[in-house]
Chain A
Amino acid sequence: MLRVENLTVKFPSRFGDVTAVEDVSMSIDAGEIHGLVGESGAGKSTVGAAIIGLLQSPGYVSDGTIMLGETDLRSLDRFEAHALRGKRISMIFQDPQTSLNPLMRIEDQLVETILAHEDMSTAAAKTRAVDLLEEMGIEDAAARMQSYPHQFSGGMRQRVVIALALCTNPELIIADEPTTALDVAVQSQVLGLIRRLADVRKVGFMLITHDIGVIAQIADTVTVMRHGKRIESGPTAQVLGHPEAPYTKQLMAAVPPLDHKIDRFKVPEDDSMAAPGKSKGDRAEAWLLGGERQVPIGLTLDNIDVTFPGVRTTIWRKPEPFTALSGISFDVRSGSVMGIVGESGSGKSTLAKTLTGLIKPAGGTMTLGGLVLPGGKARSRHHPSRQLIQMVFQDPFSSLNSRHKIGAILSEPLWLYGLVKDKGERRELCADMLGLVGMAPEAINKYPHQFSGGQRQRIAVARALLARPKILICDEPTSALDVSIQAQLLNLLKDLQSAFGLTVIFISHNLSVVRQMSDDVVVLRNGRIQEQGPSERVYQEPEADYTKRLLELTPTMPSTWIQ
């Protein structure tokens, strides 16, 4: 039905044309779900945009053919292309928050779209809209249609978006990361819906995603892309289960499995930055091991509650406080990795902020070794825990000050805590620490924007280590990274943890990643602990219903696929 041949897309820039997609061919039949996988910058979204004719200006299709049935999409003029969009091809975007107009009722958005493409009465269009929403699994659709987008939950909103994409019976739907913004349970419902639409309505789907689990679960065929080129394509089980291209093999090796724990990811180390023959961080290693060898210390949380002031609804009544964390108690053994897992809104990040003294708990105590940790502003700037607890943040693009050189960023903890007095010595140590995290020491003279996300996250790890911490908190350290970079960073964290006996608190929404990293695990939901225990026990024999459901719904691939 859809046939793409030798598609090439170029973007003119002031340095000449940049080729975003080169010589990509694929075909999608009616009722087929075709997955398009690749890491960021692979050009997957650009392929989707080129097919639907919504390439971002000034990009253009420079070569190739795109045929939808008998129609040559490249030969259409602006108006014909506009008429075809929505009618025969539709699109589902990543973020249901922004792909619906917040000021229009759902009904108006659906009816408007139907009337734009079909000659029918408004009443008939309304009936069709209700039918569609019901088909998408929205109950009481006729009444719900009067609501505005913000009155729907994320998953419901994505169903509305899918209804909107379907309302003119298109032959092809391009879904660009349709479930990335959704929680696991909602994701599995939306994926089920997509599968059903393909089977029942015979709609062809192009499913663009970076999540190999999702592809493995519902795609019939798959195309792997990298740097704008097609690497490998074919039936999903064949391409992902028995990959031929070296890149696909690497990619599969980097995917963290959910059903067992592996020692290390078998991915090539990123050598592009580490110059051969340069220091491998021996000095930094000796320095880290050298410090006063204190008694190993663990962290204990006892009945921690955190509340936020609620939203005031009337001026007469005090607003109800919102409980973010309630009765959180756990022990982190010295030298172990504690995994904290939960969906968005479960209070994971609030927990990290409470531990680091950014948020004041309403009740409960935290103790680090024998030391009681005061909460929030009560923890003075000179409290020893400021040094002993360090953190690696989620977003590598905002966690380093973009106006400071790497050298300045790294040496900050050294002078702040008075660890190294001499300026030259600080510099040498910072450079060597970069070697330890797998980067070239020359990086100290550069600015953060000169590095990729993965490299910046390594710098953030180096900054945390330079404080000589006892506890390292990692809050979603890999969620902004591609899967192969994630594997490298996880390997690095594992190596550092075992080499220096660090106590790590590893926070993530990704169950597979937490399983690979942690010795013990805490499952959080709506600010309460659902289950805790040694992580292999929790993953193999979950006790809480919530944990069982989470594990069941997370998209996985057959274990035989992973070498």
Chain B
Amino acid sequence: MLAFIKRHEGLWLFTRSPAVMIAAIVAIAILIGAVFAPWIASVNPYDLASFSLMDGLLPPVWEEFGTEKFLLGTDDQGRDMISSILYGARLSLIIGVSAMIIATTLGVGLGLAAGYFGGRFDALIMRIADIQLALPAILTALLIDGIARGILPPEMQQDLRVVVLTLAIALSLWVNFARTARASTFVQMNKEYVQAAVMQGQHPLRIMFVHILPNILGPLLVIMTVDLASAILLEATLSFLGIGLPADSPSLGTLIRIGMQFLLSGEWWILWIPTLFLIALVVSINVLGDFLRDVFNPRLR
């Protein structure tokens, strides 16, 4: 076992940094909780019949009036906080991960092509990226949300909420991927293996995706982790502002928005528990992202 770890640089660094190990444990625990939420959670927060108003505003178990049935207390509707958070994290992660995948595909495709062909095509893509960067991510997301509300019939809006939100987030994040992919592609273009492929007369698509892409995956993987955290935060922000997910299918951001109403009335857990949970999730993803950057960039070691 030890010999195996020593042979793999990344694993070896991993075992030597406690912060990264803790972050990995937290992230994996949250991931498992979110994936298996329907089996772990005691109630389904989307099912109105499964909870009762009578249980409303119960504090966590260690406070006075807390009960063991609701370890972290309940909100004003009587929903179990643990269940809400698990389901909320599930939604947040689904939106975050899909947004990140869409942004990666779009950004890497455009960035690779810009780096490979250069010239006018490159200039065009990069100017679009510049314009995109001039708008804050949240404005882009608001804009797309607004357009979707304008063109979609009202009855579909509710069903497509998650899709619109995901697209809005994805479109505000692709620039990072495009810029990194383009810069890394420029570096690879000067390498002789790419010149060899060009010289042999291989198809540009093959050179881009079979030859160059595997060699620029390192930095892209780092951005993917960091941007996953951004996507989750962006979703939480939009939901917090009330333009994300509605209260009957709460994500973490929606939970925090609901909790805000109780901030000054003594029921602190409704706000603080989902907030701390969100912070733990985002921080651990970012720590893992930084770790990956160190693994892929030997000069920072």
Q: How far is the CA of A78 from the CA of B148 in the complex (A)?
A: 68
Name the distance in Å between B285's Cβ and chain A's nearest Cβ. Answer: 26
Say yes or no: A382 contacts B201, CB within 8 Å.
Answer: yes
Say yes or no: B200 contacts A358, CB within 8 Å.
Answer: no
Say yes or no: A400 contacts B195, CB within 8 Å.
Answer: no
When A14-B12, A15-B6 are in contact, do A381 and B203 touch as well, CB less than 8 Å? Answer: yes
Q: How far is the CA of A463 from the CA of B192 in the complex (A)?
A: 13
When A14-B6, A401-B211, A401-B215 are in contact, do A413 and B200 touch as well, CB less than 8 Å? Answer: yes
Q: Given the complex, which residues of A lie within 8 Å of B12, measured CB to CB?
A: 14
Say yes or no: A386 contacts B200, CB within 8 Å.
Answer: yes
Q: How far is the CA of A391 from the CA of B203 in the complex (A)?
A: 18
A403's contact among B195, B197, B203, B215, by CB below 8 Å, is which? B215
Name the distance in Å between A466's Cβ and chain B's nearest Cβ. Answer: 11
Q: How far is the CA of A439 from the CA of B189 in the complex (A)?
A: 29
> By DSSP majority rule, is chain B's interface helix, strand, loop, or mixed?
helix
Name the distance in Å between B220's Cβ and chain A's nearest Cβ. Answer: 13
Q: Given the complex, which residues of B lie within 8 Å of A383, measured CB to CB?
A: 201
Name the distance in Å between A373's Cβ and chain B's nearest Cβ. Answer: 13
Q: Given the complex, which residues of A lie within 8 Å of B211, measured CB to CB?
A: 401, 404
Question: Number of residue pairs across A and B with beta carbons under 8 Å?
Answer: 57
Say yes or no: B214 contacts A358, CB within 8 Å.
Answer: no
Q: Does A356 contact B (CB under 8 A)?
A: yes
Q: Does B276 contact A (CB under 8 A)?
A: no
Q: Does B191 contact A (CB under 8 A)?
A: yes
Q: Given the complex, which residues of B lie within 8 Å of A381, measured CB to CB?
A: 201-203
Q: How far is the CA of A382 from the CA of B201 in the complex (A)?
A: 7
Name the distance in Å between B268's Cβ and chain A's nearest Cβ. Answer: 47
Q: Given the complex, which residues of A lie within 8 Å of B214, measured CB to CB?
A: 401, 403-404
What count of chain B residues pass the 8 Å CB interface test? Answer: 17
Name the distance in Å between A345's Cβ and chain B's nearest Cβ. Answer: 18
Q: Does B196 contact A (CB under 8 A)?
A: yes
Q: Given the complex, which residues of B lie within 8 Å of A413, measured CB to CB?
A: 200
B193's contact among A15, A357, A394, A399, by CB below 8 Å, is which? A399
Q: Does B198 contact A (CB under 8 A)?
A: yes
C-beta contact mask, A325-361 vs B, less than 8 Å → 1, else 0? 0000000000000000000000000000100111000
Say yes or no: A393 contacts B6, CB within 8 Å.
Answer: no
C-beta contact mask, B210-225 vs A, less than 8 Å → 1, else 0? 0100110000000000
Q: How far is the CA of A380 from the CA of B211 in the complex (A)?
A: 20
What are 13 of the A-B contact pairs (CB < 8 Å)? A14-B6, A358-B198, A381-B203, A386-B200, A386-B201, A391-B196, A393-B195, A400-B193, A401-B215, A402-B215, A403-B214, A416-B200, A416-B201
11 more contacts with CB within 8 A, not counting A14-B12, A402-B215, are A14-B6, A380-B201, A382-B201, A387-B200, A387-B201, A390-B200, A399-B193, A401-B214, A403-B215, A404-B214, A463-B196
Q: Residues of B with Cβ closer than 8 Å to A?
A: 6, 12, 191-193, 195-203, 211, 214-215
Which 10 pairs across A and B sit closest by C-beta, in order of nearness? A386-B201, A403-B214, A399-B192, A381-B201, A393-B192, A398-B191, A401-B193, A356-B199, A398-B192, A14-B6
